[in-house]
Amino acid sequence: MQVKSYKAGNVGEVEFDESSFGGKVLYRTLKDAVVMHMANQRQGTAKVRGRSEVKGTNAKPYKQKHTGRARAGDRKSPIWRGGGTVFGPHPRDYSYHMPAKARRVALRSALAGKIADGELVIADFGEFSQPSSKAARKILNDLGSPNRACIVISERNTNLWKSFRNFPRVAVRVADELCTFDVVNGGLIIAERGAVDSVSARVGVSAKPEGGK
């Protein structure tokens, strides 16, 4: 099929074999991968104080009997203002992991969906000899000024990364580190040919599982 291409300011089309990404979007697996990623980003530092942790006296606020009121042990009880919190959050680790095969399927599905929606651009960025936000802005303008974009490169390029980092809705990812959330949340995927080949080799239909699994 034909997908968009970009080189030296020219936007065109190039032949692309989408079969390596299966062509089918498995939405449930895709959703599971996104939820996993977001859970793994949580700090898990929320904390409240229980009745044993709040500051206060242990003395009874009033005598046990002959007041006509309900008996009370201390002012740290959850029913009192300033008392402890019941069943509140405590620091915990929210992270978990999906099976490696499921993660590969999710990333493959995400890319298949982008291809089907016409949101994949095969790009040749040329050489960024030095950081240049002006050059980065020109690339985005030539591609229609997308609200969001994910730049996928085959290997680390500090100058290119510095050129795009001023744009709050543009992310730069190395192909080996690309995950499902990056693709789903990335908007327009602008990838080098080598980066696409690298991702295809890692998660494509014919990719060999890591570790023989």
pLDDT in tens, 58-77: 999 999 999 999 999 999 99
- Residues 6 or more apart from 132 whose CB is under 8 A from it? 159, 163
Domain boundary among 62, 88, 114: 88
Rounded-to-integer distance, Cα 128 and Cα 157, Å: 8
- Which of the listed residues 88, 120, 144 is the one where a domain comes to its end? 88
> Are 78 and 162 found together in one domain?
no
Which range, of 45-49, 77-81, 119-123, 148-152, averages the lowest pLDDT? 119-123
Q: Which of 57, 88, 119 is the last residue in one of the domains?
A: 88
Q: Are residues 149 and 199 in the same domain?
A: yes
Q: Please enumerate in sequence order all residues whose Cβ is within 8 A of that of 32, keeping only pairs 6 or more positions apart, or say none.
A: 98, 102, 106
Residues 148 and 180 reside in one and the same domain? yes
Q: How much of the chain exceeds pLDDT 90, in percent?
A: 53
Do residues 35 and 114 both lie within one domain?
yes
Most confident range (mean pLDDT) of 136-150, 175-189, 191-205 is 175-189
Please indicate, yes or no, whether residues 171 and 111 belong to a single structural domain of this protein: yes
160 near 152, Cβ under 8 Å?
no
The distance in angstroms from the start CA to the end CA of the chain is 31
Spatial contact of 1 and 13, defined as CB atoms under 8 Å apart: no
Mean pLDDT (whole number) for 119-127: 84
One domain for residues 161 and 74? no
Whether 38 and 54 share a structural domain: no
pLDDT band at 193 (very low <50, low <70, confident <90, very high): confident
Is the four-CA dihedral 73, 79, 85, 87 of positive or negative sign?
A: positive
Query: Among 6-15, 146-155, 159-168, 181-190, whose mean pLDDT is lowest?
Result: 6-15
pLDDT confidence of residue 77: 94
Looking at residue 15, which CATH number applies to its domain? 3.40.1370.10
Residues 155 and 201 in one domain: yes
Q: Can you give the pTM of this predicted structure?
A: 0.81
Q: Which pLDDT band, with edges at 50, 70 and 90, does 212 fall under?
A: very low
pLDDT of 207 reads 59
Closest CA to 173 of 118, 130, 113, 110: 110
Residue 99 CA to residue 92 CA, distance in Å, equals 22
Indicate whether 77 and 174 sit together in one domain: no
19 and 60 fall within a common domain? no
**Model pLDDT for residues 4-47, shown as the tens digit of each residue:** 777 766 777 777 777 778 778 899 999 999 999 999 999 999 99
Note the pLDDT of residue 107.
93
Q: How confident is the model at residue 2 (pLDDT cuts 50, 70, 90)?
A: low
- Round the average pLDDT of the chain to a whole number and report it: 88
Task: Give the Cα separation of 182 and 196 in Å (integer).
Answer: 14
Tally of domains in the chain: 2
More confident residue, 80 or 129: 80
Q: Which helix (H) or strand (E) holds 135?
A: helix 133-142
| Residue 5: predicted pLDDT | 75
The parent domain of residue 75 ranges over 48-88
Both 121 and 66 in a single domain?
no
Q: Examine the domain organization and report whether 60 and 142 are in the same domain.
A: no
Distance (Å, rounded) from C-alpha 125 to C-alpha 60?
Answer: 73
